[in-house]
Every structure is written in C-alpha cells, then in structure tokens.
Structure 1
Amino acid sequence: MLACMTSTDPATLAPRRLPNETPQTLHRGPYTIIKELGSGLHGRVLLAFDDRLQRDVAVKLPAALTVDALTSDRVNVDELEQQVKSIVAECNAMRRVQHPNVLQIDRLVSGKKLDCDYVAMLTEFAPNGDMFDLLEVAGALPEPLVKVYACQLLRALEACHANGVVHRDVKPENLLLDANYQLKLADFGVAATAPAGEDATDVFSRDESGTALYMAPEVRSRRLYRGTPVDVWSAGVVLFILMTGLPPFNAAQKGDAWYDDLLAGDLEQFWATQPDEVLQAMTPGAQDLISSMFVKPDQRITVSEALQHPWLRGADCVDSSLVFHVEAAIAASKLEAA
C-alpha cells in the first residue's frame, strides 16, 4: 500500500492561514486555472483567477500534480510528499520577507488527491514575465535601467539577509516583473534560513544548490561556506548580463579562461580579455562594482555595501517611469534589429 502523509505531520500539514480563513481545496475551490507559467524540480506554476478576490494569482503546485493529474487516478506519492515539504519550506522562507521587491505570498491552500494531502502556494502574479524574458526582447539594457534593477535586486537581497534568508538561486529567471515592470525576487525553493528572529550572517551551507552559471565558486567546493556572499556573487553575474547581454564566462567551472581568472583573483586579466562588445557596454563604475562581487567570499562586498557603491549613488530604486523606460528599450532593440 502506498503511504500518504497523515494529518499528524505538522511540518507539512500546518500551513499558516489568514485569520478566520478556512482550508480550501484547489481543484474544488474558487480558482479557475488559465495556463501553466513554468515548472521546476519541485513545483509547477500556474496562472489562475481567484473568483473571491477577483484577480489573477500565481499558483505553485507540487510538480507531481500536473493539471491532468488533478483529474487522474494516479500520482507518484513519494514525489508528492517531498515536493509538498519543499513548497512549505519555501513558503516559510518567503513569509519572513515583506518587501516591495520580493514576491509576496497570498496564502497556502490545502488539497487532497487519492487520500494524499498536499498544499499549493498562491502568490501575487507578475504579468510582465521575468528578467530573462525582457533580455530576450530588449537585449542588453541601458545603464540607467540597469542601475534601477540593480538597486531593486540588492534591496530585495538586503531584506532577505536581514530576515535570516539566503536565496541561493539568484538569476534572471527568478526576477519577475510586475505590471509596472518593478522587480520581484521569486522562487525561494532552495533558500537557506537562520533560526527565527536572527539575520542571515551565520547561515552556513555545504550543499551545491542553485543554478550552475550563477553559483559562487565556494558552492562547488563541497566545503562549508557562508550563505550571504553566495547571493552577492550571483547578483554580480546578473548585473553583468543586464549590462552586456552576455554572461561573464562561458561556464562556471575550471577550464573556462574567464572563470579561471576569477578563481585566481586576476581581475585585470578577466576584464582585459573580455570581447569588445562587453568592454564597450561596461562603464567603469559598473565594472568596479561587479569586480567587488567577483572576489573571494571573505573579501566580497555585502549587499548593503553594494547599495552604497558610487555607481549606484543617486539611482532611483522606485522608478515610477519604469514602464516608459522598459518599453523604450524594447522599441529601440526592435528598431536596431529591423
């Protein structure tokens, strides 16, 4: 007989709810599934309409529950149990961080499939996709726009670290864009957390979590590493890509010449051998900030220090005209390609 979770498992079946909120069953409740937005190792994200709130929401379901599986009589129970635990852990990490540049949770809802309990996480919906989508249509972004997004990303990470959360998977695909193109840090599926009430200063890990191209070198060492500098390195990779439309190295592994330069601490060689299009796009201020993010973890700048960097001085972190600037960047890219 397949074992399912029981109601006595508080770690997976005791999600927080809003006051006076009763559990809802996703496939019977007031949610109309519109389409799938994406999927990952532990979950798939759907766009749904919340009839009660009269607005779109994003719904993260365990990956074992495809839309078809909701009406099927078969489901991989072992996978479902593990994915539920992952979603609950992600929810707990996200609930710690209340910040305008961090995706906010609406609620956790419960469901049942073949006598197996599961949860789904409802979050605000970001209708303009993610930063990767934007880069695909706009290419490298103008420097003023990069400064805004750099500021928003660093502020999001600063809030995470202050509340005991290390994201560990910062990349363009996890930077969502709301209706006004404001950045929303999302997908805390591999986040590491400090004990409640503590900041992330003493969060250490040993596991290799994240996405290869954006991983700090110490993550690959299989040795104990401090968490917060890992997010800074990843943010540096993101800023490099936003400025140039290209990654800083071909592969985050030994044998890649540019990556080897960074491992050796040879920033001068790293920059000197970059292609012309990178050097033309990269202003001295941006280069200096990114350099401070691409050093050994004990020398690496913190997110709070990065926000004080001269290159970001005067940057408007809450740019009310982002829609205009982003649409202008997209239009300019299309005109150039025509």
Structure 2
Amino acid sequence: MDDAAILKRRGYIMGINLGEGSYAKVKSAYSERLKFNVAVKIIDRKKAPTDFLEKFLPREIEILTMLNHRSIVKTYEIFETSDGKVYIIMELGVQGDLLEFIKTRGALHEDDARKKFHQLSSAIKYCHDLDIVHRDLKCENLLLDKDYNIKLSDFGFAKRCLRDDNGRLILSKTFCGSAAYAAPEVLQGIPYQPKVYDIWSLGVILYIMVCGSMPYDDSNIKKMLRIQKEHRINFPRFKNLTSECKDLIYRILQPDVNRRLHIDEILSHGWVQPKARLLFSAAIDKDGETSATPILEASGVQESPWTPEPGPDKKSATKLEPQEAQPEMNPESQPKEEILQEASRLLDIRSAVPMEGRPSRDTEEGGALKPADTHTS
C-alpha cells in the first residue's frame, strides 16, 4: 500500500511534496479530523542507517510525544506500518522558516524581533525545565505560522539531559549542531553544559533577527573562535540598535560559560520585557557594574567601542549546575580536528532527512545570510 492510501485510511488526504532525502520525505496533507493542512514526515526504516535508527529516531519520537507548548511545532500523531515506515504528523509552518523570511524582508524591527525572540525563549525554557536540550537551534529550524509566530521545530538532535547521583547535569563532550551557531566551548572540544550551549545559539539567532546578517563568519573556524573568545561583536551602525538590545546580545554571546545568561535571566531582561524597559537603566545602575567592554568591528567602517550598560551578573533562582568538571579555556587552544572529523562522519544523516513542516521555497541564497551547515555526533 502506498503512502497516499495509508494516510487516507488514517484520515489524511496527501498533498504536495515538501522535501525528500535518501530515506525520508515530508509531504503536506489535509487532516479530515483537524480540518486544516499538516506536514507528514515519512521515514523508511529499511533505507535508514543504523546510527539514525538506534539513536536519533528513538530520541526524537520520545521527545516529540512529551512536548506541548504554543511556540513548538505540534505533533498530532505518530504511527508505524508493518513494512517499517514511520509517519510523524505535525504542524505545518505555512509561512516558511525565519531564515527565508529575513533573507526576503531584511532584518526585523526590534519590536517584531522582541515578540519572536520572547516566543522562542519561552519554548527553550519549557524544554530546559524538562531537561530537554535542542542542540540544533538555528533560523532554519524556526517555522512561522499563518500569523508569523515562531514555532520551534526539528528535534532530530535533541536529547534528555542526564544527571549524576548528586542530581547535577552531566557535561556533554560531543559536537552537535551547526558551526555558525556553535559556542566556543563546543568548537574547542571542552566538556560543556548542553543547556548553556543552547543559550549561545539563542544569541546568534537574536543577532540575525535584528542585524539581518551572521555575527560570525564560519568560513574560517579558527578565526571565528578567536573573535568569539575575545568577546568581540560587530553591531552595524546603520541598524541603530538600542543599547538594551546590544546589551542582551552581548551578555548571551559570552564566551565565559559561568557568566553567560541563563534562560530565566534572558526572559527577565529589560529588552525582552517591555514593561521593564523604562526601569532598565535605573535598575542596572543600582545593582552594579560590568567588568568587560566589547570591541566592535564594523564591516568596512570603524565604530566606536560600545560599552554595555552596567548590570547585575547575578544568577537567577533556577540555576544550572556548576561547571566543576569543565577546564578553563586556553586562549591558544584551537578547534580539535578529531571533533570536526567526527562531526562530518554523521553529516549524511542530517542531509538525508528533509526539512520538516515548511512549504518548499525557490528563494536563492545570497549575501552573508545563508543556511548553516549542520554537523553531528
């Protein structure tokens, strides 16, 4: 029985092809029960590699069945046929993904970026509170519904965090995600907190939202890592970003993992909470000063160094476990070749699975904003 017949028996009228890989494809379909269009990911176990079947697919299915948040793509049904095909019925991102949206329309106004970033941050807090980490946060995985609200998608590399006998999160050692969105500790092969890694990726996404370009050039990983570790961030002058927005990005893209903001601190930041914005300057003056000043590098234009407004470096009530086992960053250390080689080993797994839950687009890539290359391990 073909896919259309199988879906018809479950109450879905199959539509157009949204994407296809070597062992998976994504179709649109109309749900007779829900009365609207959905996306259907179809995975053929007979064609899928062992790594995917034994590790990635079981994790994804387990996590998808747990999630229920307004800013996360909904999973309506998962079923499998006797011939080894897995069908995942999920919400359709009718307006495409955030990357294509920004490539087409340019950087978002801060008010629009604030709304979308708050939606995304709320979704990440929900996941982190469940000890679930996404590990592949990027603009391509942020779908837009009919009202252009954010819907976090693609949990193919997500996992449940493990804890030791004392209840502390166990550090991760594997490279997972896209280099352009990867934190410096991950690129260096340093044992890392996966939740803290997700936070760095949030900072890259926010920068892209308000600047319309990537904060770092991943064509030269060695140079990118050096710039990251020096805490250098370029805020283009012509964007006229508010100091609050720059402050938030600067604090998220913090190479020192012990000083990088937690998700609760992001959600309570003055830029994210409009009602708190008028009190932002007064509150930060009262609570203390920052010790670092970022160095800005404008593309072709020299810009005066931007000094982050003084603010608390205090941790929120909901804390991540201390990084006791994590070594200090060595300024001279470089990305470990074995890490990047291991990342490339499973690259075919990601490329073989089509992007889910979004309509296909023929927009050409252009400029500095481009889809990120994904690496896994």
Q: Same fold (TM over 0.5)?
A: yes
Q: What secondary structure does 1:205 align onto?
A: coil
Equivalences for 1:8-157 in 2 at 5 Å? Answer: 25-26=6-7, 29-38=10-19, 43-62=24-43, 76=47, 78-79=48-49, 82-83=52-53, 86-113=56-83, 117-157=84-124
State the AA in 1 paired with 2:66. R
3-state SS of 1:262 partner: helix
Cα distance in 2 for partners of 1:303, 1:41 equals 37
Determine the C-alpha separation between the residues in 1 that align with 2:156 and 2:33: 27
Q: What residue ranges of structure 2 are gaps of 5+ in the alignment?
A: 277-377
Distance in 1 between residues matched to 2:275 and 2:88, nearest whole Å: 34
1:282 to 211, 228, 241: 241
Secondary structure of the 2:76 match is strand
Deviation at 1:254, TM superposition (A): 4.0
Moved more, 132-141 or 231-240: 132-141
Moved more, 248-257 or 24-33: 24-33
The normalised TM-score by structure 2 is 0.64
Which residue in 2 is equivalent to 1:69? none
- Determine helix, strand or coil for the equivalent of 1:59: strand
Question: CA 1:250 to 1:125, structure 2 compared with 1: closer, same or farther past 3 Å?
Answer: same
SS in 2 for 1:225: coil
Query: What SS is found at the alignment partner of 2:26?
Result: strand
Matched, 1:261 2:227: yes
What's the CA shift for 1:127? Answer: 1.1
Shift of 1:82: 3.1
Instruction: Using the TM superposition, give the Cα deviation of residue 252 of structure 1 relative to its aligned residue in structure 2, in angstroms.
Output: 7.2
Corresponding residue number in structure 1 for 2:272 = 312
**Relative to structure 1, is the Cα distance of residues 195 and 26 closer, same or farther in structure 2, using a 3 angstrom cutoff?**
farther
2:148 equivalent in structure 1: 181
Could you tell me which runs of 5 or more consecutive residues in structure 1 were left unpaired when the two chains were aligned: 1-23, 66-74, 317-338
Structure 2 residue 153 is the aligned partner of structure 1 residue 172: no
Cα offsets for 1:86-122 (capped at 9, x unmatched):
3332121133232111111101011243xxx231211
Within 1, Cα distance between the matches of 2:23 and 2:214? Answer: 26
Q: 1:161, 1:201 within 8 Å by CA — same for their partners in 2? A: no
Match of 1:236 in 2: 203
> Identity over the aligned pairs, expressed in percent?
28
CA RMSD of aligned residues (A): 2.9
- Cα distance in structure 1, aligned partners of 2:129 and 2:168: 8
Query: Is contact 1:135-1:242 (8 Å) kept?
Result: yes
TM-score (norm 1): 0.71
Aligned-residue offset at 1:276:
3.8
Q: How many angstroms does 1:275 deviate by? A: 4.5
Conserved 8 A contact 1:110-1:118: yes
Once residues 205 and 195 of structure 1 are traced to their aligned partners in structure 2, the CA distance between those partners, rounded to angstroms, is 9
TM-fit CA distance, 1:39? 5.1
CA distance in 1, matches of 2:51, 2:204: 34
| Counterpart code for 2:252 | M
Asked if the contact 1:36/1:46 (under 8 Å) is kept, the reply is yes
Counterpart amino acid of residue 202 in structure 1: L
Higher relative contact order, chain-length normalized (CA < 8 Å, sep 6+): 2
